[in-house]
Structure 1
Amino acid sequence: MVHRTWRRAAILVAGLLTLSLTACSEDSPDAKDLSGNRAGAMTGYGVGDQFTATEPVSFSILYNNHPNYPLKKEWAFWSELTRRTGVTLEPVAVPLSDYEQKRSLLIGAGDAPMIIPKTYHPQENAFVSSGAVLPVSDYLDLMPHLKDRIARWNLQPEIDSLRQSDGKFYLLPGVHEKPTAEYSLAVRADILDQLGLAVPRTWDELYTVLKAMKARYPDSYPFSDRWSRPTPGGSLLNILGASYGTSGGWGYQHATWDPSAGKFVYTGATEQYKQMLQYLHRLVAEGLLDPESFTQSDEAARQKLANGRSFVIGANAQTLVNDNRPDLAKNRPDARLVKIPLPVGPAGEINPASRLEGGIMISKKARESAHFVAMMQFVDWLWYSDAGQEFARWGVEGTTFTKDATGRRVLAADVNVVGLNPKADRHLQKDFGFYNGVFAYGGTTELVQSFFSAEEREFQQVMNARRPLPVPPPAPLTDDEREQASLWETPLKDHVTQMTLRFVLGQRPLGEWDAYVAELRAKNAQAYLDLVNKAHERYRKDNG
């Protein structure tokens, strides 16, 4: 399982940085001179328009070939896309397992396709200095749907977080109207009922619940977690870190923005990070959290839950339905497992998910094409318009789905996806090519949640009522600074990871926290912060 989420620090000075959407396009002479690149482009293309090329065009695209739905030339996605837009896509298929490596090789050799999707910030950084990918911020005026969404959904801080030291950004991100939180905890509701306890709303209440479970079942570890390979405590430290106003696990970032100080601070040395470790250590010390949670396989964690040796586990919508409930049904058919809203911690009622996700780079050679403007209009329609996103996700009305009297989409009875019609003969992804991760991401909350179960929509409703995490101000490094920072980051992160486990498991007393912070300084934590804060000040001075 690949976990790709854009992580952010928990706090931000309001209004510290506001940048015009069109600042870069106004300043770039290259972006203005497009007179020879408008073949096939629409005149007056705007928000709500169906893009249709004025002549047949074709664009090469790097295609992430997923083993769950291998590429087929006969998919309706390809033919219907051409019928609607006049565009034929020429996929350069690369296996999912080799995608990042092959992408780098193709770009480095100058052989990259024109459209390069499935790129996650900051992966684009590696290709900026060579000029191999375009500064797409120069061309936002060609993309009315994306510009409209940035403005209407107040996405400017997120977009600014993508900018490089030149003030431009090189990745067209997937954008969401609201953040979609995936990960939380699943709890045995039947055990809660047995103990006369309510679903815990806070991490402190979870502690109380775990204590009661331990008292009733003393031979158990009430909480035994998964998702700890290859990142120890990957999911647990990630969601708990957000609740404490810091970052950890999958989402660990070296620098956290501190508004009171007006600068970035080193995450692994903050008081918030220490408090998070103190909470976890307490759970381990009292036998409430399985110490193997930070190292065991997912299968081991699943079996402990299935066998009644634990009652709480990390979960998302898919693992709850596909793994944990079937596991329990075999051994404990009366068990009821529910995914609870993320428990609230010192940071308050927050939604830690980002409104951005992986996006698209545009190869430099695309700029030389006579069809460049048409290509940017096409990208804008397919990935950022309501119609394009519905098409990519649901397919063709009357074939793969219908709409009821209220306008709600209903999957065709003979088509299955995410278990909605398990007995259907055909599959939306495998047989039609829709709901494909290369094309289907981002969008309105209604569209993003349109395949969700009623249970998951209730979870999202609770999470969407919480405030999203603000985005830290940009601090883009130059190429030389990035090279230096990369030399410091690995040893720093390794030390934070190792000491995190030792503190949590009681192998190192938390009374040695000051000594640990000194060890981080000796590994260049302060020099790293000086570099980041210098970059932040430079960017703020240059861009307002």
Structure 2
Amino acid sequence: MLHRSWRRAATAAVAALLAATSIAACSDDPSDAKDLSENRAGAMADYGIGKQFKASEPVSFSILYNNHPNYPLRDDWLFWKELKSRANVTLTPVAVPLSDYEQKRSLLIGAGDAPLIIPKTYPAQEDAYVSSGAILPVSDYLDLMPNLQDKISKWNLKSEIDQRRQEDGKFYLLPGLHEKPWQDYSVAIRTDILDELNLAVPKTWDELYTVLKAMKAKYPDVYPFSDRWSKPNPAGNLLNILAVSYGLQGAGWNFQHTSWDANAKKFVYTGATEQYKQMLQYLNKLVSEKLLDPESFTQTDEQARQKLANGKSFVISANAQAVVNDYRPDLAKTNPKAKISKIPLPIGPAGEINPASRLENGVMISSKARESKNFVAMMQFIDWLWYSDAGQEFAKWGVEGTTFVRDAAGKPKLAPDVNVIGLNPKAPKHLQKDFGFYNGVFAYGGKPELVQGFFAPEEQEFQKVLNARPPVAVPPPHPLNDEEREQASLWETPLKDAVYQATLQFALGQRDFSQWDAYVAELKGKNMDAYLTMVNKAYDRYQKDHG
């Protein structure tokens, strides 16, 4: 941390205190106004930031456990043993296969049989359980969670947290928190072709167009860009990363019906905006000039990979794993001299932004937990394991001297006899399978150095570039009530289908842009205006009720 004068440090401390206070103040019914005297069995009297949680008596909590096929649940994991030793906590997993997790979670909650702790819940998935009272309004109990409050304050996450609030002003999901956004998806480029043509790595979408033009001039029989990830959503990744580069909330596989217009201070329909039109005009330009393979919108991943491997394309959507696990091995078989790398997300009209969310999947709490004599201890424990620096390091890296060691700078690194994601490929033990650490139920979020601890050096460089960009502005809260949510669900599918169909038609040149107004009129015919009125009414109502 940079050295500061005492005056600046004091100012920062006051600001942090005020921010933390404002977070707690958002709760309609904070827990210090409740009587929790009967619910403190096992709790620490002096629990706080930087303190190891250890229950004052042995406690046990049931937890819904997402059983991942890559590291099936084992009773003899060091994770469980160490949790008992460090925290005096025994977790009783109710194991559900990964493939059935969401359905089983819904059934258990609906029947009133859910375990007390319900992790692996993604933002907005909690919405379905709010009105029944089956899950706890966790925002009422933030004063029991000092590490969570500290990170929300220090990392300026209040606007992201506020976006998760329901109509009553409360939130019901304890999300995984990232200090910095983690944007993984971009495009990968054959860098040996760039070198051959004496071209720099493109930094913007316009520069990418120029690169594709040069590739086409040199290799006229090639579609320079042939894309993957088009099933089930056509051009799922490409449309999404383009949309956010144009200042929209998302498209493709992350299609968002509404985007926030900060100037007009209202929500607009994403698929009807001028930015969406400009994005499609960009894609149409690539297709019409034969720079983007029209089959990109319909082909399978395997077909896209084959084209790349056989020199029929040079550019493709990518994330870190796809480059290492798919593209390089594919190319090694067909063209050992070929080189390919994921490039930093190209910059578009919205300027330099990091579009990834800083909130990840998180934890719901069954409302039954509130009646438990160990309720306070449970909230303290959750705060330690999921939100303290020490708890996050433990969940990811495990036990020093057994699963990891520290380098000269004090940073953790895998013990030489332990492997994970191919970092020590010949090691006899596996961090996830044999020890239960780096488990998606418990390990996510945190500081960049923790999140990126297992990243290859090139991926760390990629993240360094993206982390230097400011996070994308978060739209304000606009929670729908139950009746509105039901109505929205009836309108959203026809609207989304219409947008998807027109997106393909405009991008592929099957529909001329002189038809844009007619397309918008079609969306209006599918209740677009009524949908927007409802969303903006929800925004106005929330502003009036909660500020």
1:335-369 deviation line (CA, Å, top 9, x unaligned): 01011001111000111111111111000111111
- Shift in CA distance, 18/167, structure 1 to aligned 2, threshold 3 Å: farther
Q: 1:290-439 maps to which residues of 2 (within 5 A)? A: 290-439=293-442
1:507-534 deviation line (CA, Å, top 9, x unaligned): 1111100000000011001100000100
1:439 and 1:173 map into 2 onto residues whose CA distance is 12
1:262-316 deviation line (CA, Å, top 9, x unaligned): 1111110000000000000110111111111111111111111111110001111
One-letter code aligned to 1:215: A
Q: 1:93-108 maps to which residues of 2 (within 5 A)? A: 93-108=95-110
Query: Does 2:525 correspond to 1:522?
Result: yes
One-letter code aligned to 1:278: Q
- Shift in CA distance, 18/295, structure 1 to aligned 2, threshold 3 Å: farther
Q: 1:467-486 maps to which residues of 2 (within 5 A)? A: 467-486=470-489
SS of residue paired to 2:505:
helix
Mapped contact 2:404–2:413 kept (Cα < 8 A): yes
1:30: how far off?
8.9
> After the TM superposition, which parts of structure 1 deviate over 4 Å for at least 4 consecutive aligned residues?
28-31
Residue in 2 that maps onto 1:13: none
1:26: how far off?
6.1
Quick one: which of 494, 497, 508 aligns to 2:497?
A: 494
Q: 1:8-407 maps to which residues of 2 (within 5 A)? A: 20-25=22-27, 27-28=29-30, 32-246=34-248, 247-407=250-410
1:323: how far off?
0.8
- Shift in CA distance, 397/19, structure 1 to aligned 2, threshold 3 Å: closer
1:341-398 deviation line (CA, Å, top 9, x unaligned): 0111100011111111111100011111110100000000000000000000001100
1:19: how far off?
9.3
One-letter code aligned to 2:441: V
Mapped contact 1:18–1:157 kept (Cα < 8 A): no
One-letter code aligned to 1:45: Y
Q: 1:452-463 maps to which residues of 2 (within 5 A)? A: 452-463=455-466
Q: Gaps spanning 5+ residues in structure 1: where?
A: 1-16
One-letter code aligned to 1:181: Q
SS of residue paired to 2:370:
helix
SS of residue paired to 1:313:
strand
Residue in 1 that maps onto 2:16: none
1:28: how far off?
4.6
1:31: how far off?
5.9
Residue in 1 that maps onto 2:14: none
- Shift in CA distance, 269/110, structure 1 to aligned 2, threshold 3 Å: same
1:33 and 1:90 map into 2 onto residues whose CA distance is 27
Mapped contact 1:25–1:141 kept (Cα < 8 A): no
1:25: how far off?
4.1
1:30 and 1:62 map into 2 onto residues whose CA distance is 28
Mapped contact 1:25–1:31 kept (Cα < 8 A): no
1:311-341 deviation line (CA, Å, top 9, x unaligned): 0011111111111101101111000101100
Larger mean Cα displacement after TM superposition, 400-409 or 168-177: 400-409
Mapped contact 1:302–1:327 kept (Cα < 8 A): yes
Residue in 2 that maps onto 1:513: 516
1:446: how far off?
1.1
One-letter code aligned to 2:227: D
1:187 and 1:266 map into 2 onto residues whose CA distance is 33
Q: Gaps spanning 5+ residues in structure 2: where?
A: 1-18
1:237 and 1:523 map into 2 onto residues whose CA distance is 22
SS of residue paired to 2:39:
coil
SS of residue paired to 1:502:
helix
1:27: how far off?
3.0
Task: Normalising by structure 2, report the TM-score.
Answer: 0.95
2:33 and 2:429 map into 1 onto residues whose CA distance is 45
One-letter code aligned to 2:198: G
Higher relative contact order (CA 8 A, sep 6+): 1
One-letter code aligned to 2:75: K
SS of residue paired to 2:113:
coil
Mapped contact 2:119–2:441 kept (Cα < 8 A): yes
SS of residue paired to 1:351:
coil
Residue in 1 that maps onto 2:11: none
1:215: how far off?
1.3
SS of residue paired to 2:364:
strand
One-letter code aligned to 1:118: K
Task: Normalising by structure 1, report the TM-score.
Answer: 0.96
> Identity of counterpart residues, as a percentage?
74
1:461-507 deviation line (CA, Å, top 9, x unaligned): 00001111010110011111111111101110111011101111111
SS of residue paired to 2:220:
coil
2:108 and 2:33 map into 1 onto residues whose CA distance is 25
2:57 and 2:457 map into 1 onto residues whose CA distance is 44
SS of residue paired to 1:60:
strand
1:458 and 1:405 map into 2 onto residues whose CA distance is 21
RMSD: 1.3
1:20: how far off?
2.2
Mapped contact 1:383–1:389 kept (Cα < 8 A): yes
Mapped contact 1:143–1:376 kept (Cα < 8 A): yes
1:117 and 1:26 map into 2 onto residues whose CA distance is 24
- Shift in CA distance, 489/367, structure 1 to aligned 2, threshold 3 Å: same
2:407 and 2:196 map into 1 onto residues whose CA distance is 41
1:347 and 1:26 map into 2 onto residues whose CA distance is 37
SS of residue paired to 1:124:
helix
1:30 and 1:232 map into 2 onto residues whose CA distance is 50
Mapped contact 1:19–1:543 kept (Cα < 8 A): no
One-letter code aligned to 2:526: K
1:173 and 1:363 map into 2 onto residues whose CA distance is 15
Larger mean Cα displacement after TM superposition, 30-39 or 345-354: 30-39
1:294 and 1:117 map into 2 onto residues whose CA distance is 35
Mapped contact 1:19–1:156 kept (Cα < 8 A): no
SS of residue paired to 2:342:
strand
Query: Does 2:483 correspond to 1:466?
Result: no
Residue in 2 that maps onto 1:7: none
SS of residue paired to 1:410:
strand
1:327 and 1:447 map into 2 onto residues whose CA distance is 31
2:20 and 2:112 map into 1 onto residues whose CA distance is 35
1:456: how far off?
0.6
